[in-house]
Amino acid sequence: MDQIAKQYWTTSRTIISETKENFPPAMPQRIRAKTGISSLGTTVASVTAAGGMLDRCAASGDWLILCLHKLTTGTVTASDQISQTDFNTLMDAIASRGIPVRPINEVISYYT
């Protein structure tokens, strides 16, 4: 699968339990990401909680990739949706910790 993906993309994402990625990624066709951040799935509260993913990222300087699927301004009705309010809370929490936010292609370009 990696060889096929490599023909079309510089990197690809995987969904595994480990959420910290290396600089540069050891397996660029299997970049590790925390998927399912939503209002009903892996909640923003669990990501932003004291000692949670964001605090660990800020303390260690690790590369944390968060994957969100559907941003909605209406009522959340599915586990792959995140409300505008929860999204804003997440962005505020990232900013308050001073965690830089960059697109994956910029990070990859920097380290290659």
pLDDT of residue 17: 59
For 55, other C-beta atoms within 10 Å of its C-beta total 16
d(CA 90, CA 86): 6
Average pLDDT over residues 85-110: 93
pLDDT of residue 55: 95
pLDDT in tens, 63-86: 888 988 999 999 999 999 999 999
